[in-house]
């Protein structure tokens, strides 16, 4: 009997040690913690859900730890937005009654992770009619809203909780007039050489090249001599290191040395966010497609997404990166419809030499628009590599993207038409959003 008890205890001990070893191995393996997840993460965070410390910086911290993680990762976006519901609105004593209903001083008040059954678009975990709590008397001030359901505030092309810049009433009124298509196009003017000289990243006027090369390296050098890197005196050794310490495949940090703004944008967006928290690069196969419209070409499904995935550094072909690189991975209806769409036809006319580059529209024109930054006293027009900046909610695209060519009214209607989005804006919107009409009525 005594021996039996010992055997039972030994069995339980072995099971406990085995379980501890199994869970311990997950705990100390950066990307393998599936048994520690308490529920599926939201669409915006699933890529980094197995890197727990990305959000849970301290195992003993409270809500303030999660709040710090939110504001750290989304710092640039929060800084750029004109927040309609800042924290100060909820710490104001005059709004104490509202605070009692929705304590929105912290992000997790509205965005609770690992609760897929209550999570709506944009990671919102409150009921979709949460606007009711503070705006239940809206119809008294705005009769045009009489009878509208509160769960349509954010889904009818009207309101965004954090930033309503594209739909402020004054902006709607000021831009009420205008044909649906403007004769106005963005241009790109990258004075890369001047910037690199100002930062000291171009050591010589004459590029240094490797003296002993194989056939592949000779071919790459030939491509390089026709590239922007060559024009800017960026030589082999600037990326590959010295001939005595040659790097056949330079890491992304080599790109970062000269392209910090682009690198920061890339690692903030969906393509590179895993790299920002020390994980392996994203691949299309890792994308969560079961609950979305995304789909990808199988041939490239396991391609790691880095700078060189879209850019060949020896050629620096922005035409390749602006369309072909996108379509080599994305095979959803929106992407597949691009070349046959009005936008795609403009792009093909540009490739055929029929129109100037300033009149062309590419995938990058809308999803990675040009932004102006000042570095070392030099104004540079760069590509915004963080596609999240204009992706969700899609009304973010109105000012920096759509209105470069289209009127405000057309932009609002087009972005609210899901069918039009799927066919890549082939045709005109089937439904009219009345935001501008309501604003004009109020200022009469």
- Find all residues with CB under 8 Å of 436, minimum gap 6, and list them: 172, 173, 175, 176, 408, 409, 412
Tens digit of each residue's pLDDT (9 = 90 or more) over 76-135: 888 888 888 888 888 899 888 888 888 889 999 999 999 999 999 889 999 999 999 889
Tens digit of each residue's pLDDT (9 = 90 or more) over 414-433: 999 999 999 999 999 998 99
Beta strands in 348-422 (DSSP E): 370-375, 378-383
Q: What does the pLDDT read at residue 183?
A: 53
CB 281, CB 262: distance < 8 Å:
no
Q: Which of 101-110, 148-157, 257-266, 289-298 has the lowest mean pLDDT?
A: 289-298
Task: Kindly report the three-state secondary structure assignment for every residue of 62-120.
Answer: CHHHHHHHHHHHCHHHHHHCCECCCHHHHHCHHHHHHHHHCCCCCHHHCCCCCCHHHCC
Burial class (CB in 10 A: 0-12, 13-18, 19+), 230: middle
CB 331, CB 341: distance < 8 Å:
no
Task: For the chain, give the percent of residues with pLDDT over 70.
Answer: 85
The upper half-sphere exposure of residue 45, i.e. CA atoms within 13 Å in the direction of its Cβ, equals 28
254-270 average pLDDT score? 92
Q: What does the pLDDT read at residue 357?
A: 87
Q: What does the pLDDT read at residue 1?
A: 56
Tens digit of each residue's pLDDT (9 = 90 or more) over 287-301: 985 445 578 999 999
Tens digit of each residue's pLDDT (9 = 90 or more) over 9-63: 777 777 777 666 666 665 555 455 566 778 889 999 999 988 888 898 887 778 8
Please state the domain extents for the chain: 38-163, 192-405
Whether 188 shows a pLDDT value over 50: the answer reads no
Q: Output the pTM of the full model.
A: 0.82
């Amino acid at each position: 009997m005594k021996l039996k008890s010992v055997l039972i205890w030994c069995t339980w001990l072995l099971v406990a040690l085995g379980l501890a070893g199994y869970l311990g191995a997950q705990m100390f393996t950066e990307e393998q913690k599936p048994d520690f997840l308490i529920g599926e993460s939201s669409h915006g965070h699933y890529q980094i859900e197995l890197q727990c410390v990305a959000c849970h910086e301290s195992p003993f911290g409270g809500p303030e730890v999660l709040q710090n993680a939110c504001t750290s990762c989304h710092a640039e976006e929060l800084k750029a937005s004109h927040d309609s519901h800042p924290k100060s609105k909820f710490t104001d004593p005059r709004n104490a009654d509202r605070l009692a209903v929705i304590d929105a001083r912290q992000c997790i008040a509205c965005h609770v992770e690992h609760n897929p059954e209550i999570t709506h678009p944009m990671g919102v975990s409150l009921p979709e009619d949460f606007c009711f709590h503070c705006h239940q008397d809206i119809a008294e001030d705005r009769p045009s809203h009489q009878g509208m359901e509160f769960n349509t505030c954010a889904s009818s092309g009207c309101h965004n909780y954090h930033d309503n810049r594209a739909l402020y009433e004054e902006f709607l009124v000021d831009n009420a007039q205008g044909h649906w298509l403007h004769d106005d196009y963005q241009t790109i003017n990258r004075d890369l050489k001047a910037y690199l000289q100002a930062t000291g990243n171009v050591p010589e006027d004459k590029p240094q090249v490797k003296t002993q090369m194989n056939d592949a390296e000779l071919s790459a050098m030939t491509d390089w001599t026709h590239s922007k890197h060559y024009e800017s005196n960026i030589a082999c050794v600037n990326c590959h290191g010295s001939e005595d310490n040659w790097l056949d495949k330079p890491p992304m940090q080599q790109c970062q040395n000269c392209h910090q703004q682009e690198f920061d944008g890339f690692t903030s967006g969906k393509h590179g966010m895993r790299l920002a928290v020390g994980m392996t690069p994203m691949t299309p196969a890792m994308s969560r497609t079961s609950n979305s419209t995304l789909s990808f070409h199988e041939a490239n499904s396991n391609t790691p997404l880095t700078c060189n995935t879209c850019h060949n550094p020896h050629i620096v072909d922005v035409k390749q990166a602006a369309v072909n690189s996108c379509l080599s991975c994305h095979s959803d209806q929106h992407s597949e419809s691009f070349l046959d769409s009005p936008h795609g036809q403009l792009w093909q006319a540009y490739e055929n030499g029929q129109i100037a580059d300033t009149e062309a529209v590419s995938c990058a024109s809308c999803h990675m628009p040009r932004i102006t930054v000042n570095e070392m006293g030099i104004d540079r027009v760069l590509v915004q590599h963080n596609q999240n900046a204009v992706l969700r909610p899609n009304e973010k695209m109105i000012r920096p993207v759509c209105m470069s060519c289209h009127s405000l009214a057309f932009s609002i209607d087009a972005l609210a038409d899901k069918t039009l989005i799927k066919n890549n804006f082939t045709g005109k919107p089937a439904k009219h959003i009345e935001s501008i009409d309501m604003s004009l009525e109020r200022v009469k």
